[in-house]
Amino acid sequence: MIDKILDNFRNNNISSDLNKDTLIVKKNDFYKEQIIKIQPIYLDPNTPDENIADSICIPNGDAQLPDDISMDEDVKKYGIESLAWYRSFHWKPIESWGIYILNTGINHIAQKIFFGHQNFNSLDCYQSSFKFLLYHEFFHYITDIAVSILEATHQFKIKLYENYYYKIYEKPNPLEEALANAYAYDNITRLDPGLKRKIHKFMIDQPPGYCDYHSYLNPNKFNLGIRNLTHLILNGIPDMEVKIINDIPFELLFDIHKVNLSFNNVPVYIIQNNPNPEFNFNLITTIPSEKLIISKRFMKDLKKLPNDIQKKFEKTKELLKLGINNPSLNWERIKGNDTLFSIRINIDYRASIKLVNHGEWELLRIDKHDALYDKPGK
Ligand SMILES: [Zn+2]
């Protein structure tokens, strides 16, 4: 579905120029050398969407970047958008659309919300933080699509998004930000209610609009918020005023449960704005053979195993080349370790694999599930 909308934008030259003074243009320009695209993430469309954050990694798993406290001021002034932002395909050049996340933004959220939570280690914190920012920005994407559907009903002749963006969104107290924050809050705390207090504390320090998220936490209020947002969007049409009729279920246009939309179809960019290479967040995507080291210990294990397992291992290497999110690999992190993972060889056997320097991966052991988790190697 998203492809159809984007094709329409590309083929019919629908996108507009974005005002050079907007924060998005300034930031995309400022960081242009440091922007890294981190997709495609999955080759298999059946991989659960939420797994996106599980494949985020840093070169040194135990690392903890010192927090930049000047970011507190930025968040107070500009809200979450100072850490991550969404660029619509309504703007030219269309190829630049997507979600942009600052490397230091991931760290800032990790420090503010996740460090010290239960027994989270560094990687847990960074992965959760990434997910939190992603959910917020994803709501902007959902809105972008909803507006596009409304525009499509007018053959894209009315620039609803553009009007709305300059006349409503850019003005103080943006409702879209309250809803985006409510969406992120809801999705993260549903998985882990213990985080509610810390996230609330982070949210209320943001500017008006952003900090009003708590007015939209209840599902009915969230839907009413979406209806109001849609009215604002429709009222962006010059000389046309849409009466507020709160019984039109505009929320049907917003795919908040990701039935048709997924993290997978938005380009995600991480901006490596921290000069320290220790903190270059990346998503593990594929492991090509030149990056795969097979340890002596692993070979010793493997030789003892029946032929069919050895053959299976050859297949596993092929799968790693294609993408670690292939369900047959059943990629899992070994708890308590930030850089140690396990993959499935067959129904009985698994292998441990470790991220070593320079983005290389070393196979450490191969054994039955419990034995491997007991002694995964070092
Ligand atoms: Zn936002």
Tens of pLDDT, residues 256-271: 998 888 887 888 888 9
Residue pair 348/369 in contact (Cβ under 8 Å)? The answer is yes
Split at pLDDT 50, 70, 90, the class of 353 is very high
pLDDT of residue 330: 85
Quick one: tokens of 48? 């659960």
| CA 96 to ligand 1 centroid distance, Å | 17
Q: What is the DSSP letter of 168?
A: I
| CA 211 to ligand 1 centroid distance, Å | 11
Split at pLDDT 50, 70, 90, the class of 120 is confident
Interval 208-239: pLDDT, tens: 999 999 999 999 999 999 999 998 898 866 55
Split at pLDDT 50, 70, 90, the class of 245 is low
Among 282, 303, 329, the domain-final residue is: 282
Residue 294 has pLDDT above 70, yes or no: yes
Number of domains in the chain: 2
| CA 266 to ligand 1 centroid distance, Å | 15
Rounded to the nearest 10 degrees, how much is the dihedral formed by the CA atoms of 358, 267, 251, 5? -160
Write out the DSSP string of 87-149: E-TTBSSGGG-EEEEEHHHHHHHIIIIITTSTT--HHHHHHHHHHHHHHHHHHHHHHHHHHHH
How many degrees, rounded to 5, is the angle at CA 371 between CA 368 and CA 377?
105
Q: Are residues 64 and 165 in the same domain?
A: yes
Residue 299 has pLDDT above 90, yes or no: yes
Quick one: tokens of 268? 């995600």
Q: Are residues 291 and 278 in the same domain?
A: no
| CA 302 to ligand 1 centroid distance, Å | 50
Which residue range forms the structural domain that includes residue 84? Answer: 2-282
Residue 85 has pLDDT above 70, yes or no: yes
Cα torsion angle, 229, 253, 3, 272, sign: positive
| CA 303 to ligand 1 centroid distance, Å | 54
Question: Identity (one letter) of the amino acid at 258?
Answer: K
Q: Are residues 207 and 88 in the same domain?
A: yes
| CA 206 to ligand 1 centroid distance, Å | 11
Determine if residue 17 is left, alpha or beta; phi over 0 gives left, psi from -120 to 50 gives alpha, anything else beta.
beta
Give, for 344, the enclosing helix (H) or strand (E). Answer: strand 340-344
| CA 198 to ligand 1 centroid distance, Å | 19
Q: Among 48-62, 79-93, 342-356, whose mean pLDDT is lowest?
A: 48-62
| CA 136 to ligand 1 centroid distance, Å | 6
Among 264, 282, 300, the domain-final residue is: 282
Question: How far apart, in whole angstroms, are the C-alpha atoms of residue 272 and residue 195?
Answer: 27
Q: Are residues 229 and 319 in the same domain?
A: no
- Mean pLDDT calculated for residue range 154-181: 92
Q: pLDDT above 70 covers what percent of the chain? A: 86
Residue 41 has pLDDT above 60, yes or no: no
Among 218, 251, 282, the domain-final residue is: 282
| CA 54 to ligand 1 centroid distance, Å | 23
Q: Are residues 274 and 305 in the same domain?
A: no
Q: Are residues 228 and 301 in the same domain?
A: no
| CA 298 to ligand 1 centroid distance, Å | 47
Question: How far apart, in whole angstroms, are the C-alpha atoms of residue 74 and residue 137?
Answer: 17
- Mean pLDDT calculated for residue range 357-372: 88
Q: Are residues 201 and 340 in the same domain?
A: no
pLDDT of residue 80: 96
pLDDT of residue 281: 74
pTM score: 0.80
Q: Are residues 225 and 339 in the same domain?
A: no
| CA 144 to ligand 1 centroid distance, Å | 12
pLDDT of residue 44: 45
Taking each continuous run of H as one helix and of E as one strand, the counts in the chain are: 12, 11
pLDDT of residue 266: 86
Task: Identify the residue with better confidence: 116 or 39.
Answer: 116
| CA 78 to ligand 1 centroid distance, Å | 9
- Mean pLDDT calculated for residue range 71-93: 95
pLDDT of residue 239: 54
- Mean pLDDT calculated for residue range 173-186: 96
Task: Identify the residue with better confidence: 314 or 54.
Answer: 314
Q: Are residues 264 and 363 in the same domain?
A: no
The values of phi and psi at residue 209, to 5°, are 100, -75
Q: What is the DSSP letter of 67?
A: P
Q: Are residues 370 and 268 in the same domain?
A: no
pLDDT of residue 60: 57
Q: Among residues 225, 239, 221, which one has the least CA distance to residue 146?
A: 225
- Mean pLDDT calculated for residue range 163-179: 93
Residue 47 has pLDDT above 80, yes or no: no
CB within 8 Å of 67: residues ≥ 6 apart: 107, 108, 111, 112
| CA 14 to ligand 1 centroid distance, Å | 23
The CATH code of the domain that includes 337 is 3.30.2310.20
| CA 89 to ligand 1 centroid distance, Å | 16
Question: How far apart, in whole angstroms, are the C-alpha atoms of residue 84 and residue 271?
Answer: 9
Mean pLDDT of the chain: 86
Q: Are residues 211 and 334 in the same domain?
A: no
Q: Are residues 272 and 292 in the same domain?
A: no
Residue 43 has pLDDT above 50, yes or no: no
Interval 140-155: pLDDT, tens: 999 999 999 999 988 8
| CA 342 to ligand 1 centroid distance, Å | 36
